[in-house]
Every structure is written in C-alpha cells, then in structure tokens.
C-alpha cells in the first residue's frame, strides 16, 4: 500500500476528538452540567452546617457553582441589634465560595419577614417614624451591598412584595413608605455596587396570573423611571400533589422580553409523606421540567435549589406531613431527581 494511502487510512481510523463527538459524555455532576449548558446551578446554604458537617461541605462544593445564604444575609441575622452587625456567617459563605470557585447570590435586602425585633417594635410603637424608617432602610441596603461589593453576582433586592390576589403586600415598607420604597431600594443597591445584578424575587410567580401581571407592571414602572432592575427571580417552591406549572417557560419569556435576566432562585419539589418510588419519579419529572424550561429561555441564567439534602430541608417545618423535597436524601445519596437533571440539555 502506498504511503499516502496508509496515512489517509490511519487518519480515518483515528477516534474523533471529544469536542467533535456527536454524543458527548453525560455530565458527571451538577457543576459539569452547569458548565455544559452555560448557566449557574446553585444551592441555598446553611452556614452552621457548612462549618460542622464535612460530608455536606464536600457535596456542596463538588456539585454547585453558585451559592445563596439561606439565612445568613437576612436583616435579623446581620443586624440583630441596631448598629450592631454580625457578619461572621455571611463572610464565611462568601469566603467559602471564593475558595471553591463559586459565585454568590445575595438574599435578601428588603423583605417583610425575618426583620430584627428592634426594627419592627420601633415601627409598631411609633418610636421610628417614616422619615427615620426610610433612612434605616437606605443605610441597611448600602451597608450590606457595599460590604460585599464585587463579591456577589446578584442580589434579591426586594422579596415577595405582591400578594396572591395581585395586590401589593401590606408590609411595614408599603404602609409607612409607600410604593416608592421599591424603586429606592434598587437605586440604593445599584449605587452601592454598580456591577451587581439586581432582582425582584417572588413565589408562585410560575403560575399565579394576578401575581404575574402585577409583577410585570412593577417592572415596567421601574424601567419607565430609569430604575436599575436587571432580573426576575422565580422561587419555584413546587409540590407533586399540584400540577406542574405548564406555562412557566412562557411566563419566563414575558419577563425576558422586558430585557430582564431570568433565574429560578429557590427550587424544591415537596411531596406528601411517606416517600414512594412513584412519588420520587414524579418529583424527578418536575425537577427536570424546571431545568428544561429554564434552558429553553435564553435569558434564564440560573437554577438554584433551596437546599440540596433532605437532612436540612426547611419543608417539614413549614408543611405538616410533607418533605423529601431535595435532590439528595438525608444520607446525601442522589435521588431520581438528581439523575434526571443530568440528562437535561439546552435545546438547539
């Protein structure tokens, strides 16, 4: 055989490089899945558990390229007494993320829950008036965002400001400051860190029509005022006893059409106990559909689960008789939902 023919035969017989393969290897874990699909896949983190449990720490850092403080950045955690800040847990999470090449989502700057007692008591007894309350809110946002300037990819600036019926939530912020507090919060956060992405975040936004329409109106109004708002967060607290929100991807697109980045920020899928193989299979479908919906919308850049192990899930404490909402069980063993996520690919 002539040398040229031999050389050609060898080239044709050689295996294709991995990048050219028509069937790339499936991802080995969620972090690789995130990399392959060009998104962030994150988890909420209990900082005390992060410190105390080596197996929790190992799985978190192996699986996720983004983290959210479950409680450590909320107001009652960082300023339990007026003017007395406790940054240890929030700092620990940010530093852990730096060491493990993870981005951080800040949660949350303005909420009606988990406020320090000194603040709520002062408003209720009249010792803090509207002028002082506005200054307190401005200082809180400015102090926290500035502390982590350049270290946090995105902030949930305002959280859960719309009721189920589409009316504005009657929080202390709305009652005492009026609806303008939302625009103020975004402006103050942007001033403190001009490079952070700023989000409005809410639950049941996946399907609740009145809440969707009101939130769209809020975003449009903020944009008309020139307020720096960059993203919409769908919490995604689902339950298999309810239908999957079939129109979720289209709802995402409605916000994306306004120029917003889209994120699933607190995904979990609970079930009525006891656990059965059939329930786990349904749960797996809900998780994979959520990621599929996200990947079908170009503006969706993140899917964060609200805790990754049933060992430390918030669900049993809030929903009596329900649980098993996470991707891993109490022993950190992957459930069918975890395996289902690894099969999801961005549509071409």
Catalytic residues: 266
What is the largest distance, in Å, between two alpha-carbon atoms of the chain? 97
Of the candidates 26, 66, 36, which has an alpha carbon nearest to the alpha carbon of residue 264? 66
- In whole angstroms, give the CA distance from residue 14 to residue 307: 45
Judging by DSSP bridges, how do beta strands 231-234 and 197-202 pair with one another?
Answer: parallel
Helix (H, G, I), strand (E, B) or coil at 277: helix
Q: Is 195 exposed, middle or buried (0-12, 13-18, 19+ CB in 10 A)?
A: exposed
Percent of residues in the chain assigned helix, strand, coil, to nearest 5: 45, 20, 35
As a whole number of angstroms, the distance between CA 322 and CA 305 comes to: 17
Q: DSSP class of residue 271?
A: E
**Angle 277-295/248-256 helices, nearest 10 degrees?**
20
């Amino acid at each position: 055989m002539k040398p040229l023919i031999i050389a050609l035969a060898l080239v044709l017989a050689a295996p294709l490089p991995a990048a050219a393969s028509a069937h790339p290897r499936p991802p080995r874990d969620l972090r690789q899945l995130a990399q392959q699909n060009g998104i962030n896949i994150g988890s909420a983190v209990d900082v005390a558990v992060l410190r105390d449990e080596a197996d929790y720490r190992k799985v978190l850092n192996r699986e996720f390229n983004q983290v959210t403080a479950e409680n450590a950045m909320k107001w009652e955690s960082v300023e339990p007494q007026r003017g007395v800040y406790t940054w240890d847990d929030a700092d620990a999470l940010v530093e852990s993320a730096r060491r493990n090449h993870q981005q951080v989502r800040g949660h949350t700057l303005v909420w009606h829950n988990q406020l320090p007692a000194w603040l709520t008591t002062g408003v209720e007894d009249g010792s803090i008036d509207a002028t002082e309350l506005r200054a307190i809110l401005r200082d809180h946002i400015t102090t926290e965002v500035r502390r982590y300037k350049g270290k946090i990819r995105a902030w949930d600036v305002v959280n859960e400001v719309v009721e189920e019926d589409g009316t504005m939530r009657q929080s202390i912020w709305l009652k005492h400051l009026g609806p303008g507090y939302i625009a103020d919060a975004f402006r103050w956060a942007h001033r403190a860190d001009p490079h952070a992405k700023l989000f409005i975040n809410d639950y049941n936004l996946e399907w609740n029509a009145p809440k969707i329409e009101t939130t769209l109106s809020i975003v449009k109004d903020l944009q008309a005022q020139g307020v720096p708002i960059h993203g919409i967060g769908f919490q995604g607290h689902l339950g298999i006893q309810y239908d999957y929100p079939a129109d979720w991807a289209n709802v995402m697109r409605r916000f994306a059409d306004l120029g917003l980045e889209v994120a699933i920020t607190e995904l979990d899928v609970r079930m009525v106990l006891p656990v059965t193989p059939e329930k786990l299979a349904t749960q797996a479908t809900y998780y994979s559909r959520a990621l599929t919906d996200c990947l079908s919308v170009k503006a969706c850049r993140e899917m964060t689960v609200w805790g990754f192990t049933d060992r430390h899930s918030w669900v049993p404490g809030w929903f009596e008789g329900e649980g098993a909402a996470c991707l891993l069980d109490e022993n950190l063993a992957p459930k069918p939902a975890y395996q289902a996520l690894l099969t999801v690919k961005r549509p071409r």
